[in-house]
A and B are shown apart, each in its own frame.
Chain A
Amino acid sequence: MDDQLEIPSTRKRTSPKFLWGGAVIFLALVVLVFWAMGRSGSTAYFLKTSELVSSGPSSAEPVRVNGNVVAGSVSHEGLASTFDITDGQTAITVTTDRPLPDSFRDDAQTEIVALGTYDGHKFTASEVLAKCPSKFKAKTS
């Protein structure tokens, strides 16, 4: 600990320099947060498959889509995997060259979240995550 004695100081108003300094820092942080929110990839829409299909092809901005794997739809070719997911109403085809998560299985229990773009026919994913597999998820009935 510094061995400095406390030096009592007389009470006085906070100097305007501090108020200005504080205001500048505060504004800078607010601007930073808004700028960051607007950056590409900062926010992504999170859609169900039927919502994705009805909203049509996504623009350059990636979106997240979630759904359950359609059993028997999974195929691999080289590094690429293709499979269908559905929210119970509409199914879409997802293709990705990224590794599938360990808990990914070719069955309807597997719920995945894919990040990527949709061209109206196919969803090209740059990331595929599986929601915690049901076996480890306590189901409260």
Chain B
Amino acid sequence: MISLAGLGYPSLLAALILAVAALVLHGLGALRSRKDLTEAGVRATTGSAVFVGLAVVSLVSALYAHDFSLDYVSRYSSRSLSPAYTVTALWGGMEGSLLFWTLLLTTFAAIALVRVDARTTRLVGWAGAVLAGIAVFFLALLVMPANPFTRLADVPLDGVGLNPLLQSPGMVMHPPLLYTGFVGFSIPFAFAMAALFSGHLDDSWLKATRRWTLFAWSALSIGIVLGGAWAYTELGWGGYWAWDPVENASFMPWLTATAFLHSVVIQEKRRMFKVWNVVLILLTYVLAVFGTFLTRSGILSSIHTFTEGSTGKWFLPFLGFMLLGSLGVVAARYEKLRSENRFDSLISRESAFLLNNVLFVAAALTVLWGTIYPVVAEATTGVRLTVGPPFFNSVFIPVGLAIVGLTGIGPLISWRRMSKGSLTRIVRVPLMSGTLTAIVLAVVGVRSTGALLAFSLCAFTAVAIGSEFVRGSRTHRAAGARWDSALLRTLLRNRRRYGGYVVHLGVILIVIGLSGSAFRSESQELLAVGESMTIGEYTLTYEALNQGQTDEKDINEAELSVARGGNYITTLRPQRNFHFAQEQPQSEVAIRTTPVEDLYVVVSSFDQDGTAAVRAFVNPLTWWIWVGALVMLAGMGVLLSNEKPVAVRAGVRKPAPEKVVVAP
């Protein structure tokens, strides 16, 4: 393959010039209501996306051509790196990942601006200007402090290569998905800003960007789960989430985005929460950019922090400008954003949604607090501190359980108001199921209060969701449909509602899996060949040491036979390998996974005589986390599959009444 590295920098410059042009054209087009200028702006945005694409092609070609004259290529790839992982070097380092960010941003912007419909033409100018402004910032970073096309004076023969930990299928997908999520929120953010600038504050910006929001949120959700799965299968400490600042950075925008997904429903139904929705989307986007900044600035101590580059000092003013600027615009438009309705009753769908929002935003702020507290404490008192998992768990267990309960109750409550009697009637069955679950588990011998509460709330919510499906499918069954086709019809007829329930069901399964961690056990022993250790009901016998070698690494594999109650179950083969390029050992975990529990084995070292330090974990219910994520994915598929046709049909059947703004 030929290296096109020479094309990279000129392409970035061209993209920057076009982004500046787009900013000016869109800005003028919006200010003077000139459609021709706006159209030129869209063309400039598209052109900028094309040139960023060219820069990416150039860097990827340099990676595959092993063009080590580029500093970036020499740092993040090597000749022995397999082709499948060579492409991941594109986002393996700071410069490349910023380039990838910019590619997504300009591409999404071009698609969103080209695909405008009648509802949003008046927003395009401003949205285009906002998106172009963000693109200018990132392109300026790429052209100046984070140039991925910097040349080396002395060209090395081989590159350093990619960290072996990152050479895993999960890591191929995890960063692009997170970035897709982060960057995807640019579109609703830009249209929200456009609504504020232009004063068209009805919900057309919400409806126009709903698919983008869902798409970004789905990508971020799956990306976060894949990150956890990667940590679980690669890092070898037996867990999947450590509340590390970089994990938190992706979790915070997810929390506010989840709040946003829910609260937009109230704006559409009841024309309330307008300020709140705008604030939520801008908070989400600022947190997404903050997340990118956190991972790239080195201001926080994190094992993930990739680099202590000079881009940090560029990000802070940009973040401050975005946050203050957008809040300023909200303040300026505050009067126009007043709700058109008020709460009628405490027991109403609106209140449930409001409580959901309060909990999600409080959760996000808690994570933010825990994440930046060390920085704040050091700046104010000079004392260096770290905030550990006990803090986050202490807040998240109660808040998370409250959210789980609310997930069950919320959809059962009607809009505006509901009598206590009908509420009692409708929650009776779910409530009984929850209580029954708690009793059965307590009798079986579960003693952890938190886990009992968690499982009974999950049962409550799962039954509540199930009862919604039963109620929804009643008419289809009355018409003679079999129960499975009735359920399917229910799901497909009202995808937004029932697709949402499927996502909820996935979340419940994930919560069940997370709750299993209350019963984890762990054991560590030094085993010579032939010796055994026990963990839980399992006996692990070290049968043999297998050794081998590939071009990349020396392989040392412990063959462990697993028995339970004297019966052989399986053989696990954890490895402790030595990677030549990185001159570093790396453990490969072996896991026997079942719906009941995972047996997780890792060898942390081998002695000269083959004695292995074996660390084993029994992780109950972890399997359900990944299954829950798949269910969520299915729900997201339903939600994303046809938003438009439903909206069109609904519009045909019941034209939206012309909105009447009542002067206060």
Q: Which residues of A does B touch, CB under 8 Å? A: 1-9, 11-15, 17-18, 21-22, 25-26, 29, 32-33, 35-37, 39-47, 64, 66, 76, 78-79, 97, 99-100, 102-103, 105, 113, 115, 129-133, 135-138, 140
Cross-chain contact A79 with B524 (CB below 8 angstroms): yes
A111–B494 CA distance with the chains assembled, in angstroms = 55
29 A-B contacts (beta carbon < 8 Å): A1-B646, A1-B650, A6-B657, A14-B342, A21-B346, A25-B355, A29-B399, A33-B395, A36-B390, A36-B391, A36-B394, A36-B395, A39-B390, A40-B390, A41-B389, A43-B391, A44-B385, A46-B374, A79-B613, A99-B236, A99-B613, A99-B615, A100-B604, A102-B165, A113-B301, A136-B160, A137-B308, A138-B94, A140-B307
Decide if B270 touches A132 in the complex (CB within 8 Å).
Answer: no
Q: How far is the CA of A21 from the CA of B386 in the complex (A)?
A: 34
B167-175, B314-322, B584-592: which one contacts chain A?
B584-592
Complex-state Cα separation, A6 to B341, whole angstroms = 10
Chain A residue at minimum C-beta to C-beta distance from B384 = A46
Q: Flag if B584 contacts A105 (CB, 8 Å).
A: yes
Contact B497 A2 (CB under 8 A): yes
B80 in contact (CB, < 8 A)? no
Q: Is B388 an interface residue (CB 8 A)?
A: yes
B362 nearest CB neighbor, chain A only:
A29
Question: What does DSSP make chain B's interface, helix, strand, loop or mixed?
Answer: mixed
Since A32-B395, A79-B526 are in contact, a sample of 6 more A-B pairs with Cβ atoms closer than 8 Å, ordered by chain A residue number, is A9-B342, A21-B346, A36-B394, A44-B386, A138-B93, A140-B307
How long is the Cα–Cα vector from A14 to B494 in the complex, in angstroms? 33
Q: State whether A12 touches B269 (Cβ < 8 A).
A: no
CB-CB under 8 A from B494, the residues of chain A are 1
Interface residue B118 (Cβ < 8 Å from any Cβ of A):
no
Q: In the complex, what's the smallest C-beta–C-beta distance from B309 to chain A, in angstroms?
A: 5
* Given A36-B395, A140-B308, A140-B309, A133 and B584 contact (CB-CB distance below 8 Å): yes
Contact of A103 (CB < 8 Å), options: B386, B584, B654: B584
Q: State how many angstroms separate the Cβ of A49 from the closest Cβ of chain B.
A: 13
Residue pair A33, B369 in contact (C-beta under 8 Å) = yes
CB B527 to nearest CB in A, in angstroms, measures: 11
- Complex CA gap A130/B386 in Å reads 16
Q: Are B342 and A11 in contact (CB under 8 A)?
A: yes
Q: Tell me the nearest residue of chain A to B660, going by C-beta.
A: A8
Query: How far is B522's CA from A97's CA once the two chains are assembled, in angstroms?
Result: 13
On chain A, the residues within 8 Å of B301 by CB distance are 46, 66, 113, 131
Least Cβ distance of A112 to chain B in Å? 10
Interface string of B599-642 (1 = CB under 8 A from A): 00010110000000101000000000000000000000000000
Q: How far is the CB of A13 from chain B (nearest CB, A)?
A: 8
Complex CA–CA separation, A37 to B604 (angstroms): 33
Decide: A42 and B387 in contact? CB cutoff 8 A. Answer: yes
Judge if B496 is at the interface, Cβ distance under 8 Å.
yes
Closest to B378 in A: A46
Given contacts A33-B369, A43-B388, A138-B309, contact A130 B303 (CB under 8 A): yes
- Binding site secondary structure of chain A: loop
CB distance from A19 to the nearest CB of B (A): 11
CB-based contact B388/A41 at 8 Å: yes
Distance between Cα atoms of A17 and B604 in the complex (Å): 58
CA distance A79 to B310 in the complex (A): 41
Q: How far is the CA of A7 from the CA of B355 in the complex (A)?
A: 22
- Tell me the nearest residue of chain A to B366, going by C-beta: A33
B422 within 8 Å of A (CB atoms): no
Q: B388–A132 contact, CB under 8 A?
A: no
A32 touches B398 (CB 8 A): yes
CA distance A45 to B385 in the complex (A): 4
With A11-B342, A11-B662, A43-B391 in contact, do A140 and B310 touch (Cβ < 8 Å)?
yes
**Cα distance, A21 to B352, chains bound together (Å):** 12
Q: Contact string, B328-358, partner A, CB cutoff 8 A, digits 1/0?
A: 0000000000000111101000010001001
Instruction: Say yes or no: is B306 at the interface (Cβ < 8 Å to chain A).
Output: yes
**A33-B366, A64-B386 known; A102 vs B586 contact (CB < 8 Å):** yes
Residues of chain B within 8 A of A35, CB atoms compared = 394
User: What is the CA–CA distance of A137 and B305 in the complex, to the nearest angstrom?
Assistant: 9
Q: CB distance B416 to A43 under 8 Å? A: no
A37–B394 Cα gap in the complex (Å)?
Answer: 9
CA gap between A115 and B242 in the complex, in Å: 14
Known contacts A1-B646, A43-B388, A138-B75; decide if A12 and B342 are in contact (CB<8 Å): yes
Q: Kindly state whether residue B383 has any CB partner on chain A within 8 Å.
A: yes
Nearest to A76 among chain B residues (CB) is B605
Contacts of A138 in B (CB 8 A): 75, 93-94, 306-307, 309
* Residues on A with beta carbons closer than 8 Å to the beta carbon of B151: none
CA distance A29 to B359 in the complex (A): 9
**CB-CB nearest in chain B for A1:** B496
Q: How far is the CB of B405 from chain A (nearest CB, A)?
A: 14
